[in-house]
Chains A and B, each alone.
Chain A
């Protein structure tokens, strides 16, 4: 009687979503995959560095952006330190896109979607697209003549897509909120998903390495 009761409890525990989620995560993301201590020898090329460089630039964007948020537009337009942090934010963005494009070129030519890595590739491509929107909302949130010019030039294009109904580039308050809350949250979430997928599936092997695995 006691044994059957224990079995029933065990079954119930096994069916709990927390139990199933924990086991699924432990199977898909063991510690050795999440924080590896060794990497395959084919990673010894500079082209594999650009993903990490992109994340480094993103960290600088977020840090400098946080300082700009604390101090506000008057500070970043008028004080020397504010101008410096504003420039740091801009140049971090320049480097972010620079590194990301070189990263994407590398992954494109090595066919990084091979070996069930399509979702990894797509999450990266979507991150690139969302980052462009994040960059754009930053340009129209500068609160200077540049941002006014860009917004008035962009409004017709945005309105022609129908997005102008809820995404008004002439509304600087709305653009600033998109720039400092919504889009960074999406970019950070997508980058996190992208990195987790890279850790889950591993770095794509070169074509030559894959051919060697298929025909030993």
Chain B
């Protein structure tokens, strides 16, 4: 089990400084940008992927 943790930790090393993107006065962490992009993608998926159901009322 410990080896699994070690493997994950080696792939996602969180014990480092955060990465930031800067554009003029705009500054955003890469983490926050990734979350925002994921939310947009999930939103697009939610309104485009068909929702199958057995009954219609």
Which residues of A are interface residues toward B (Cβ below 8 A)? 38-41, 44-47, 49-50, 94, 98, 101-102, 105-106
* A-B CB contact pairs (8 Å), 15 listed: A38-B57, A44-B51, A44-B56, A45-B47, A45-B51, A46-B45, A46-B49, A46-B51, A50-B46, A98-B38, A98-B39, A102-B39, A105-B43, A106-B43, A106-B46
Distance, CA A102 to CA B47, complexed state (A): 11
Task: Tell me if B57 and A40 are in contact (CB < 8 A).
Answer: yes
Of all chain A residues, the one with the shortest Cβ separation from B47 is A47
Q: A45-B47, A50-B46 are in contact. List 10 more A-B contacts (CB 8 A).
A: A41-B56, A41-B57, A46-B46, A46-B47, A46-B49, A47-B46, A49-B46, A94-B35, A105-B43, A106-B47
Binding site for A on B (CB under 8 A): 35, 38-39, 42-43, 45-47, 49, 51, 53, 56-57
Least CB distance from A25 to B in Å reads: 26
Could you tell me the dominant secondary structure of chain B's interface residues?
Answer: helix
Q: Which residues of A contact B56 (CB under 8 A)?
A: 41, 44
Report how far A41 CA is from B56 CA in the complex, Å.
6
- The chain B residue sitting closest to A40, CB to CB, is B57
Note all chain A residues with C-beta closer than 8 A to B38: 98
- Interfacial chain B residues near A39, Cβ < 8 Å: 57
Residues of B within 8 A of A44 (CB): 51, 53, 56
Which chain A residue shows the least CB distance to B57? A38
Residue of A nearest to B35 (CB): A98
Contacts of B42 in A (CB 8 A): 98, 102
The closest CB in chain B to the CB of A102 belongs to B43
User: Complex Cα distance A49/B43, Å?
Assistant: 11
- How far does the alpha carbon of A98 sit from the alpha carbon of B39 in the complex, in Å? 7
Residues of chain A within 8 A of B43, CB atoms compared: 47, 102, 105-106
Residues in B with CB closer than 8 Å to A38 are 57
